[in-house]
Amino acid sequence: MQEIFHTDAGFAEDADQKDALAWCKQQFHFPQHNGKDAIYFCGNSLGLQPIHTKQAIDIELTTWRDMAVGGYFGGANPWLYYQDYMRPVMAGIVGAKENEVTVMNTLTVNLHLMMLSFYRPTKQRYRIIMEAGAFPSDQYAVETMVRHHGFDPADAVVEVHPADGEKLLRTPDIIDVIRQYGDSVALVLFGGISYYTGQLYDIAAITAAAHSVHAVAGFDLAHVAGNVPVQLHDWQVDFAVWCSYKYLNAGPGAAGGVFVHETHAGNTGMQRLGGWWGNDEKTRFKMEKGFVPKPDAGGWNISTAQVFNMVALKASLELFGKTGMQAIRRKSLRLTAYLEYLLQQLPGLSFEIITPADSEARGAQLSLYFREKGREIHDRMIANGIIVDYREPGVIRVAPAPLYCSFTDVYRFYELLKGFA
């Protein structure tokens, strides 16, 4: 049964009092506006800083100061295994086994590395299918990768467009395109959630369709990780990559995450670019020729763990370990539905919510499409202490992240917007 919301402040106050995750809000630093916490609905672009991040960084600074190179083997968190400390919680976030995930590099670097392993084109099977309007970095990565292999992107890259007059993709249409190109498809590469519309794609169905034509299924989960629970292992996804600075709150430029299904992760003969940190730890310090990859996702590690680019992620994941994705999702569904309801009570503002109305087909984000004055309205929001972001053409993205956003935040947002009409 659909919940009945109300437009009075008491509803938001009561919802916050009953919120099992209300305590999490106090675990983050908020930008200030006129001496008060700003309304921060921009976790889809950069998450807030957890209050214990500084302490976590200080611990590693102290280890470096006091132990220098000894920090690789001693200290509170020996650096030799730093990327592994995040595996248990990260695996739970993306529905994987621990041996299927690792932390390294950044998102687009990892996407290139995964494509070098999984995109093995031939004259017959060389096409990559992706959604039209994918995040530009993904488009650039795919374009340059097919050129790297000597193919023309105009032929090798197939984009799936919404039906005429629509802004969202229909799953049957995606599957039809995959089947249409059939045995010429080498890789199906989708974002898990559209950065622009906020649409959550049916990862399981797309993966099954890719496998039905013997293609690889890969996903960019930048807007999924820490936002929506997924089951990458059970859905048989081949690989996935994501950043950690959005819903995972690990800070600007933080290390990214990688999933490689165990059917591939255990295949040490699989083609990849090798490096010292991906080599089997039993032979790493023999300093000999001959790359022997670790028999798990860590076999794609290349360089020494970026401790100071991972420490904030390690700190943030402690909160996820205490809450769990199911609890986060339950609150998120209700919080975003409440936001949607209040936005619908603003007839004086001319916009269209282009994110799916079906709550199961979206994450925390609602995308508001303004045919006119979108940038101007965005700037007014910023001036009034509402931190959201704008994407051309005409979309203001509003994302109440459930770990640190409250029902009262959503109500304050609504009250301010009433004055814009």
Q: Measuring CA to CA, how many Å separate 121 from each of 132, 150, 159, 236, 260?
A: 21, 10, 18, 21, 19
Q: Is domain 9-44+324-418 in CATH 3.40.50.1370, yes or no?
A: no
Which pLDDT value is given to residue 51?
A: 98
Q: Boundaries of CATH 3.40.640.10 in the chain?
A: 57-321
> How far is it, in rounded angstroms, from Cα 192 to Cα 181?
21
> How far is it, in rounded angstroms, from Cα 156 to Cα 215?
14
Which pLDDT value is given to residue 12?
A: 98
The half-sphere exposure of 298 on its side-chain side, counting CA atoms within 13 A, is 20
Which pLDDT value is given to residue 350?
A: 86
Q: Is domain 57-321 in CATH 3.40.640.10, yes or no?
A: yes
In the predicted model, residues of the chain with pLDDT beneath 50 are none
Q: Boundaries of CATH 3.90.1150.10 in the chain?
A: 9-44+324-418
Which pLDDT value is given to residue 1?
A: 60
